[in-house]
């Protein structure tokens, strides 16, 4: 237990007063040794790769404060973690939302030689920035009027908006710009994450946003391994059209623009889709812009001229025509699914080809063959007919 002792006079007599202060807190040293991602888990364009390699070799022997800037989802946060992994330094994650008290405490108790990531550094509330800037610039912080020297912490900031940072602070950083990955490099990342070429194609046909891709991959993993069958389940659940690569919301969004003669404002679209403006701006629009389907101007949103002529409904119709019933890929998947389903192939042996076609069609429609009561099918009735019968029963129920 800590205490403060003060001397004072009372009635001419020298006295001592002992005041108990807060119990001594047990302070845990802050900073974690992490082991992912490694340098080899990351994919960079050549020029960025060179810069990163140079930095890596330098921070293995000493510290440099680094600012990683560029668009969202280009791997800035992951790279900061990679620096900690590759240099074997304890890693500390700081963001504005943690509040001044907590951040002070983390910095004071940081382990020796730690790397502190200040994620989205342009977003720091002023109070937090007041602590962090001197920490970066002079390696010390001010707490309750006292100066405290930090234990050789190296700072890595990430930001999408470097122009919002004060110039003197920028001067303290070694800066590296992150560019959007080319489609080839994106493929490389997805293959590193365990996707096969079909999964890669479908994912990239839908989005090039890694945050969204990572969410989809997490969902796919809930179904089992990352493969086309599980991807289809997730796309169906999330209402993403496998072939057009558009979500239900994106289709509705395009419909709204198509029906309007003039550019449409974000607010109007939000009201019609019953979605917030941020959701539209960050989830719905970026991929439509990238796919050159819409143009975003200060007057509002409109279809790209080529989309106006061609029209989305036509695009959709054609994609449905091409993919009527099922494709060779659906069939290939049906066969590989059936390989695992010995009971079905045994029970419906002579109708094997019909089963394959039925399963392929289900897969094509994003339905899940596991959901069918195959055990109730008899081999003296065509599979299609059993399906119809079962549907009839289900509807009566």
| Secondary-structure percent of the chain, ordered helix, strand, coil, rounded to 5 | 55, 15, 30
The stretch near ligand ADP (CB under 6 A) out of 37-45, 148-156, 289-297, 344-352 is: 37-45
What is the C-alpha radius of gyration for the chain, rounded to an integer number of angstroms? 30
Which of Mg ion, ligand ADP, none does residue 42 bind to, with CB < 5 to 8 Å depending on kind? Answer: ligand ADP
Which of Mg ion, ligand ADP, none does residue 204 bind to, with CB < 5 to 8 Å depending on kind? Answer: none
Q: State yes or no: residue 76 binds ligand ADP (CB under 6 A).
A: yes
CA angle 56, 60, 61 (to 5 degrees): 130
Among 88, 97, 182, 214, contact with ligand ADP (rule: CB under 6 A): 214
Q: What is the DSSP string of 306-344?
A: HHHHH-HHHHHHHHHHHTSS--HHHHHHHHHHHHT-HHH
Contact 356, 334 (CB under 8 A): yes
Query: Of the candidates 297, 286, 329, 292, which has an alpha carbon nearest to the alpha carbon of residue 308?
Result: 292
Q: State yes or no: residue 78 binds ligand ADP (CB under 6 A).
A: yes
Contact 338, 359 (CB under 8 A): yes
Site for ligand ADP in 191-210 (CB under 6 A): 210
Q: State yes or no: residue 158 binds ligand ADP (CB under 6 A).
A: yes
The stretch near ligand ADP (CB under 6 A) out of 3-11, 39-47, 250-258, 377-385 is: 39-47
Q: Supply the minimum distance, in Å, between the C-beta of residue 217 and ligand ADP.
A: 9
Cβ proximity to ligand ADP: between 226 and 334 the closer is 226
CA angle 164, 170, 171 (to 5 degrees): 155
Q: State yes or no: residue 91 binds ligand ADP (CB under 6 A).
A: no
The pattern of x and - marking residues 63 through 102 that bind Mg ion according to CB under 5 A reads --------------x-------------------------
Among 75, 90, 286, 369, contact with ligand ADP (rule: CB under 6 A): 75
Cβ proximity to Mg ion: between 117 and 190 the closer is 117
Residue nearest to ligand ADP (CB): 75
Q: State yes or no: residue 73 binds ligand ADP (CB under 6 A).
A: yes
Q: State yes or no: residue 43 binds ligand ADP (CB under 6 A).
A: yes
Q: State yes or no: residue 51 binds ligand ADP (CB under 6 A).
A: no
User: Phi and psi at residue 251, in whole multiples of 5°?
Assistant: -65, -45
- Residue 47 CA to chain centroid, in angstroms? 24
Query: Of the candidates 286, 289, 283, 199, which has an alpha carbon nearest to the alpha carbon of residue 248?
Result: 283
180 vs 70: CA distance, rounded Å: 8
Binding site for Mg ion (CB under 5 A): 77
């Amino acid at each position: 237990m800590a205490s403060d002792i003060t001397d004072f006079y009372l009635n001419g007599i020298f006295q001592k007063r002992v005041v108990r202060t807060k119990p001594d807190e047990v302070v845990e040293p802050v900073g974690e040794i992490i082991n992912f991602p490694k340098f080899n888990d990351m994919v960079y364009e050549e020029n960025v790769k060179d810069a990163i390699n140079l930095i890596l070799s330098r921070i293995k022997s000493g510290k440099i404060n680094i600012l990683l800037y560029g668009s969202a989802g280009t791997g800035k946060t992951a790279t900061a973690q990679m620096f900690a992994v590759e240099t074997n330094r304890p890693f500390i994650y700081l963001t504005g939302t943690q509040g001044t008290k907590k951040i002070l405490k983390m910095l004071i108790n940081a382990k020796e030689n730690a790397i502190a990531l200040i994620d989205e550094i342009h977003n720091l509330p002023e109070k937090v920035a007041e602590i962090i800037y001197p920490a970066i610039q002079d390696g010390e912080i001010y707490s309750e009027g006292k100066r405290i020297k930090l234990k050789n912490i190296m700072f890595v900031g990430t930001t999408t908006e470097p122009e919002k940072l004060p110039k003197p602070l920028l001067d303290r950083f070694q800066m590296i710009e992150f560019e959007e990955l080319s489609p080839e490099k994106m493929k490389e990342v997805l293959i590193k994450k365990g996707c096969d070429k079909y999964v890669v194609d479908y994912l990239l046909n839908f989005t090039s946003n890694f945050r969204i891709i990572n969410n989809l991959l997490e969902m796919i993993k809930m179904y089992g391994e990352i493969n086309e069958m599980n991807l289809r389940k997730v796309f169906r659940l999330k209402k993403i059209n496998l072939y057009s690569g558009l979500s239900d919301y994106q289709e509705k969004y395009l419909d709204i623009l198509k029906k309007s003669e003039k550019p449409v404002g974000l607010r109007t679209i939000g009201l019609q889709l019953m979605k917030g403006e941020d959701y539209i701006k960050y989830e719905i629009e970026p991929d439509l812009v990238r796919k050159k389907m819409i143009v975003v101007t200060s007057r509002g949103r409109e279809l790209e001229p080529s989309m106006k002529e061609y029209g989305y409904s036509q695009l959709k119709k054609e994609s449905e025509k091409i993919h009527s019933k099922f494709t060779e890929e659906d069939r290939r998947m049906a066969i590989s699914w059936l390989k695992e389903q010995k009971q079905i192939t045994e029970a419906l042996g002579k109708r094997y080809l019909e089963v394959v076609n039925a399963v392929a069609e289900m897969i094509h429609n994003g339905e899940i063959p596991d959901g069918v009561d195959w055990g109730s099918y008899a081999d003296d009735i065509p599979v299609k007919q059993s399906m119809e019968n079962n549907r009839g029963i289900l509807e009566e129920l």
